[in-house]
Structure 1
Amino acid sequence: MNSPAHAPVIRLQDVSRTYDDGPPALNDVSLTVRPGESVAVLGPSGSGKSTLLNLIAGLDRPDTGTVTVDGVRVDRLGEAGAARYRRAKVGMVFQFFHLLDDLSVADNIALPARLAGTARGEAHRRAAQLMESLGIDRHARAHPTRLSGGERQRVAVARALMNRPALLLADEPTGALDTAAGEDVQALLRELNADGQTLVVVTHDVALARACTRRTLHLVDGRVASDTTTATAAGAVR
């Protein structure tokens, strides 16, 4: 069940996660993200960024505390439930795209809908709409290996949006791109957020955070060191 329109998309309450005998990867973290917010999670290696992303995505469970995304108690889900949750609620974009090279662009984009049980024709109609809106419709029959890095990331974003997720998670989305392609992806993320897409970007890149988000969360040693908000993302069109 979806949350009411005014309810947070993400709510973490007193979340901690420790691996083996090491220090906590996350230590008593609470976080609320409202619908339509754009949030960057910054921090050095080992600060807890990846752990936070994995908990929100249902790829891991906290030792203590609760994780709720769009009305779903993610920390309570088993493996099968977590897979269904990711298909329905979360779109994920990664640094290295993770596209399937033996499938066409259109089939890569349609895949999440097909896995969710959507009929092939309906899935490909939705994929066609996304390709047109993201400017990659001319590549529909191409395979990912024929595309530039920026084009492949646009395909990955389209795939992430396929099932109309409540939340888009981007993990270092420009890390494998040259400067021009990275700026193109930054602009795309700003546009998606301007259209109402809730966005969380996990990165070590301060410039990326400033370019495409309005709120910045700094993690240090598994704790929230600061949480700041600006009026608009740098370079955003108003």
Structure 2
Amino acid sequence: MTTPLIELRDVTRRYDAGPPALLDVTLTVAPGEAVAVLGPSGSGKSTLLNLIAGLDRPDEGTVTVDGVRVDGLGESGAARYRRAGVGMVFQFFNLLDDLTVADNVALPAQLAGTGRREAARRAAELLDSLGIAAQASAYPGRLSGGERQRVAVARALMNRPALLLADEPTGALDSASGADVARLLQELNADGQTLVLVTHDHDLARACTRRTVHLADGRITADVTTEAVR
């Protein structure tokens, strides 16, 4: 039996006196799997992502990712865990406008202690593989939304993370750019990248994953796997 890459056990997270953001959630994700987390606003999707990323801690239960007890990490340990093991892609790109595309992509490696030359080599390799090598010396403000999201994906992959987390990655894109990013996520998963995708978009979930986890009021209400299309 394959050891899960992600394992949440009996996780509850409360923020105030109201209903919990997550309640008694148990979830496993296998290495190489692509999972979409669906649900309305306030269902707990972002809380789930933040717990997996080590940006938040549960009040109860455990969060383990790639053998690391994420819920037990301190602030500096959580930062190291994210640099080494998790790539994150956001709706609004979060690129640094005063750095070139190549420097944006190389930045996580440099923060992790990789030398400038090796970081630049890896950045160039990623930009080429994602089809945006021609934009390496451009600044993010000169790019289309789809191009900026490709840069964000390249940056997320810079340190070869075991896990890629994508939070509404097509939410700020037009339909053509969104379809382009969806194909990119499909290709990455086909190459073995583990993916957890948080989205409101059922079409994006169907395009990128075969498994959907539905959240409502902090609970998992459905966990559905469909057969691969042959």
Q: After TM superposition, is the score higher than 0.5?
A: yes
Q: Tell me how far 1:184 sits from its aligned partner.
A: 0.2
Q: Does 1:172 align with 2:201?
A: no
Equivalence for 1:193:
189
Q: Does 1:140 align with 2:136?
A: yes
Q: Which amino acid aligns with 1:110?
A: A
From 158, 161, 166, the counterpart of 1:162: 158
Structure 2 distance, partners of 1:110, 1:68, is: 28
From 22, 27, 41, the counterpart of 2:37: 41
From 11, 17, 27, the counterpart of 1:15: 11
Tell me if structure 2 keeps the 8 A contact 1:105–1:140.
yes
Structure 1 distance, partners of 2:3, 2:114, is: 28
Equivalence for 1:153:
149
Q: Which amino acid aligns with 2:144?
A: S
Q: Which amino acid aligns with 2:184?
A: L
Structure 1 distance, partners of 2:49, 2:163, is: 12
**Between the two proteins, what is the percent identity of the paired residues?**
78
Structure 2 distance, partners of 1:76, 1:166, is: 19
Equivalence for 1:116:
112
Equivalence for 1:85:
81
Q: Tell me how far 1:22 sits from its aligned partner.
A: 1.1
Structure 2 distance, partners of 1:130, 1:105, is: 11
Structure 2 distance, partners of 1:110, 1:229, is: 36
Structure 2 distance, partners of 1:222, 1:179, is: 30
Q: Tell me how far 1:98 sits from its aligned partner.
A: 0.1
Q: Tell me how far 1:232 sits from its aligned partner.
A: 2.8
Give a deviation string over 1:63-87, Cα, whole Å, max 9, x none: 0000000111000011111100000
Q: Tell me how far 1:231 sits from its aligned partner.
A: 1.9
Equivalence for 1:65:
61
Structure 2 distance, partners of 1:138, 1:116, is: 26
Q: Tell me how far 1:6 sits from its aligned partner.
A: 3.4
Structure 1 distance, partners of 2:65, 2:183, is: 26
Q: Does 1:103 align with 2:103?
A: no
Structure 2 distance, partners of 1:8, 1:105, is: 34
Cα RMSD after superposing both structures: 1.1
Tell me if structure 2 keeps the 8 A contact 1:213–1:232.
no
Equivalence for 1:220:
216
| Residue ranges of structure 2 left out of the alignment (5+ in a row) | none
Structure 2 distance, partners of 1:74, 1:14, is: 14
Q: Tell me how far 1:8 sits from its aligned partner.
A: 1.0
Structure 2 distance, partners of 1:173, 1:90, is: 16
Q: Tell me how far 1:109 sits from its aligned partner.
A: 0.2
